[in-house]
A and B are shown apart, each in its own frame.
Chain A
Amino acid sequence: MSEKSTEISNKSDAERLQIRKERFALLRRNKAFTIGIAVLGFWTLCAIFGKYVTPFKADEQNFEFVSISPNHTYWFGTDANGQDVFSRVIVGSRLILVMSFAATILGTLAGTSLGLITGYFKGWFDTIVMRLLEAISAIPAIIIALLAIAAIDGKSPTLTVFIIAFVFTPNIARTVRAAVLAEAEFEYVAAAKLRTERTPHILFKEILPNVMPPIIVEFTVRLGYAIFAIATLSFLGAGVEYGSPNWGTQISENWAQIFNNQWWPTAFPAIAIASLAVSVNLISDGLLEVFEI
């Protein structure tokens, strides 16, 4: 890692561009990455255009066709409210994708800033922040999130996004800090200091570009966890409106039906969650391989 960084750090812009191109070519040839992108892309399209193309409206109730098993008209069957499960699964991708991306972006921004600052300045500030972050990570993330959501506002997606971002910040900060600690030893940082560049310039213009690979990988890893967390929370009935087309909520609403042998209203959203989670992990695995960290 450190050898590689020196290499990149000392290279001209043209050479950097070359490295970037090579990495991109490697990614395109990486099977895991391609499959991951394809599945994530599919769900993203569903999230954007889903509500215009589904055979039925997601909240359309048809009481003549309640709890019908999968067939030609209702591909994934209907639930106890006479709603088409297929349409709800397609439209349900929207909320979880928007929420998990928003939470991960926020958490990455906060964690990166914190990691840059603690890794660059070190000293007592670093020690205190790192101990604090360690203390936060001793409590299972899902419990902190559930606690805060239940205490403040049980049905607010915005709040849920902020809380998940908060919970993820320590892990991201730690990854970035480790990378910055190694990076701050290089000559180009000392050179920038000698040129009396301002600290924000050194942090964001000099160091940040060189620690991007671990940040990108960490972003995708956290995105996977965010999907996991949001699905779990909405399954437990926290953070989303009851009755909204959303995979976790769909599962918990139809859970009791499995004892009447109606597996389809829960099994299909569960499989959708699994496919989304796997796709994001495939992407991060591909990136990890190409960045060689």
Chain B
Amino acid sequence: MGKNLGWINNVLKRIIPLLLVIFGSTLILSLLLQLLPVGLKDLYIAPGDPASIREQLKSLGLDGNAFTFYFHWLNDFIHGNFGYIIFPGGGREPVSNRLATALPISLRLVVYVQIFSLLISVPLGIYTAYRAGRRSDRVISYSLFAAASVPNFVFGLLLAIFVGVQLGWLPPLGYIDPSENLVGHIKTMILPVLSLSIPTIATYSRLLRSDVIATLREDYVTMAASKGLSNRRILFTHVLRPSSTTLFTSAALNMGALIGGTLVIEQIFSIPGLGTEIGIAIFSRQFFALQSYIAIIAVGYVLFNGIIDVVLGFVDPRTRERRNA
């Protein structure tokens, strides 16, 4: 009985701070909106008779103060109403319409980037750690270091210019849905995924490299080597697992940065995803839509972190004990 309660306690301990983060970040955003020099009322309320204006104010939650505005939005958001895009003159389009098409595209992009980055960076990290200090490690590590510090949109630009236009190997812009044409989909996604992946791969493999180097110094690795286990066996069964925790954690934390990155990459490659929608919303001042977009990003970010926490518990049971302590 006591044991069960302890488990629930642990889950609560982990979930409550995450909920607070979602709550806090959306509240901050909502308060920021109140500080805009152009009032929300001036932007979104179509002129009309007092009754219709009152009606509009009420439906947008603008009839009270900053906090009632926030809770109006929060209530709607929890109930799956993500607000409206409001056109000049008062026409409205539900944000959920836009999300239904844009979100899957961006998610696909981000998932491809994560999978591709991990596939490349895990072997690269292990290899450079295993050869630490040798010439091959130095060459790879310095190139990765340079790659990690270059903004991803610079890679996007250079790839689009040279691979997309000059060489003409891949389409430099556009998006094709996989249900339409799978080969076309892959072709349009290669350059955006590459440009987001290069800095990510560099960061991940550098992290894994330093973790693997630290693990290789542990006594049980020396023990395994002295038992006569092969290097490959030691690296993949004894070293990789305990070394991968930092990598997974930072991969989860990287979700936020990746979504920020898609904002630019989607615009370079004309991909109609969430990043493009956010760009449109910012420049056309659709703040209701923006609030929901950003809340969804915050929820996603927090969810990924929660999931990673659980996954890490399985990968390395030591972290489970450490956290419960």
Enumerate chain A interface residues (CB-CB to B < 8 A).
131-132, 134-143, 146-148, 150-152, 224, 227-228, 231-232, 235-236, 251, 255, 258-259, 261, 263, 266-267, 270-271, 273-274, 277-278, 280-282, 285
Contacts and interface: CB of A to CB of B under 8 A. Distances in A.
Given A150-B283, A263-B161, A278-B150, A140 B260 contact: yes
Contacts of A141: 260
A261 B160 CA distance: 11
Contacts of A261: 165-166
B154 A278 contact: no
Contact of A152 (B37, B172, B257, B297): B37
Contacts of A232: 151, 153, 264
B285 interface: yes
Contacts of A152: 36-37
- Residue among B24, B27, B150, B287 with the most chain A CB within 10 A? B150
A282 B151 CA distance: 15
A138 B253 CA distance: 9
B151 A135 contact: no
A19 to B, nearest CB: 25
Nearest to B283: A150
8 contacts: A137-B256, A138-B25, A142-B263, A147-B294, A152-B37, A227-B151, A235-B153, A236-B267
B interface, size bucket: 35 or more
A274 B151 contact: yes
A148 to B, nearest CB: 7
Contacts of A146: 263, 279, 282
B256 A139 contact: yes
B259 A138 contact: no
B298 A131 contact: no
A146 B284 CA distance: 12
Contact of A270 (B20, B154, B257): B154
A69 to B, nearest CB: 12
Secondary structure call for the B interface: helix
B149 interface: yes
A143 B149 CA distance: 20
A131 B301 CA distance: 16
Contacts of A255: 157, 268
B36 A151 contact: yes
A270 B145 CA distance: 18
Interface string B2-37: 000000000000000100111111011100110011
B298 A274 contact: no
B312 interface: no
Contacts, number: 132
Q: Mostly helix, strand, loop or mixed at chain A's interface? A: helix
Interface of B: 17, 20-25, 27-29, 32-33, 36-38, 145-146, 148-151, 153-154, 157-158, 160-162, 165-166, 172, 256-257, 259-260, 263-264, 267-268, 278-279, 282-283, 285, 287, 290, 294, 297-298, 301-302
| 5 tightest A-B CB contacts, nearest first | A135-B24, A140-B260, A281-B149, A142-B260, A135-B25
Contact of A281 (B145, B259, B285, B301): B145
Contacts of B282: 146-147, 150
Contacts of A266: 157, 161
Given A138-B298, A142-B260, A277-B149, A147 B154 contact: no
A132 B165 contact: no
A236 B24 contact: no
A134 B21 contact: yes
A153 B105 CA distance: 31
Contacts of A224: 149
A139 B294 contact: yes
A270 B157 contact: yes
A151 B59 CA distance: 23
A4 B279 CA distance: 47
A95 B302 CA distance: 36
Contacts of A282: 145, 149
A258 B161 contact: yes
- Residue from the set B28, B161, B301 with the largest chain A CB neighbour count within 10 Å: B161
B308 to A, nearest CB: 14
Contacts of A132: 24, 28
B285 A150 contact: yes
A222 to B, nearest CB: 13
Contact of B154 (A148, A274, A281, A285): A274
A228 B149 CA distance: 9
